[in-house]
A = this chain, B = another copy of it.
Amino acid sequence: MTGTRTPDVLAGIDVGGSKIAVVLADTDLRPLDRHVIPTGAGDAGYAVDRIAHALEAALEQAGRATADLCAIGVGVPGRVEPGQGTVTLAVNLGWHDLPLGPRLAARFRVPVAIENDVRAAAAGLHARRATGDDADLAYLGIGTGISAGVVIDGVLHRGSRGLAGEIGHVVLEPDGPRCACGLRGCFEAFASGRGIGELAQAAVDAGEATSLPTDRPCTAVDVYRQAARGDAVSRRIVEAAGRYVARAIHELVMTYDVRRVVLGGGVTHAGTPFLDPVTRALDGLRAMSELAREALPPDVVHLLPPDADAGGWGGVILARSAARRTASADAGQAASVGPAAREVTAS
């Protein structure tokens, strides 16, 4: 009971290809502040500086200091080694074997946990009971790429090599378009932001009659917007994407038997134009099969609002786990980085 304030700020950081979002919360998970900056372009060292800068700006905006930090959790779009706090490979960021955890730990002198962004979001959604008291939950992140984070019996599932939930590269059409991974007809090639943009671009390039832009590369935002306005090419792409998303939801449910699939990520921010084709396709499966009706109850899908900050809050939950681990471990260590997977969703 001296005059020293106990650190009480958890920082969750969601690193994306275009922006870095910081969510600050207290140890009771009450939101303190939110701050977003562009990721910017540069090497990995520069990126670590940008992340640190975003965190410092968020603290300042919240009227807090670095000394108030308990722990940091970072979600990264790529493969990570949580035990070492290393980002093994983040293709869209150009990172390879980056010791992000140790670097941030050295800079801020607090425990740092690193996890794949979609997996972190899943852990955060579960820990914050975003869908109620579900013990199991899958989060399907549909952005530039696609992957799923899955919580089973309250535990985040990483798999034997950290590949668990990489269903963006499950093949849905063996003769389909080539995916970035090399295979043909992956789920990602039809329903991710990149996939949808490329399918639209191919239609434009083929001279199809469409209201899609012809003076710049098509994006998924263009496609959903033009689909809502009745453009036939866009509607075709959007309907197909909805069917593939429905198949992926069905696949997640039949494989993991999760009771709930939460949808989030940039593509889902289109809202109703995104969700309606998915719902229609799920209804089609339900109409055909009693087993599908049981597996896909009406509330199986939970669409996150665009401002849900699932990634940032996932980082907060990672930070909370890291802080607890450190508190229960040797008090002599100033900062540590440890595996987050097993404990991350324990509340």
Please give the count of copies of this chain that the complex contains.
Answer: 2
A293 to chain B, nearest CB (A): 9
B-facing residues in A35-87 (Cβ within 8 Å)? none
Q: Please determine whether A183 and B288 come into contact, CB atoms closer than 8 angstroms.
A: yes
Q: Please determine whether B182 and A292 come into contact, CB atoms closer than 8 angstroms.
A: yes
Q: Please determine whether A182 and B289 come into contact, CB atoms closer than 8 angstroms.
A: yes
Q: Please determine whether B291 and A181 come into contact, CB atoms closer than 8 angstroms.
A: yes
Q: Which residues of A contact B (CB under 8 A)?
A: 134-136, 148, 152, 157-167, 169-171, 174, 181-184, 243, 247, 250-259, 285, 288-292, 294-295
Q: A255: which of B252, B289, B291 is its contact (CB, 8 Å)?
A: B252
Return chain B residues, CB-CB under 8 Å to A166.
254-255, 257, 291, 295
Return chain B residues, CB-CB under 8 Å to A174.
243, 247
Q: A257: which of B164, B184, B253 is its contact (CB, 8 Å)?
A: B164
A60 to chain B, nearest CB (A): 40
Q: A163: which of B134, B184, B290, B295 is its contact (CB, 8 Å)?
A: B295
Q: Please determine whether A135 and B160 come into contact, CB atoms closer than 8 angstroms.
A: yes
Q: A250: which of B134, B170, B250, B256 is its contact (CB, 8 Å)?
A: B170
Q: Please determine whether B257 and A182 come into contact, CB atoms closer than 8 angstroms.
A: no
Given the interface contacts A182-B292, A292-B181, does A257 sit within 8 Å of B170 by beta carbon? no
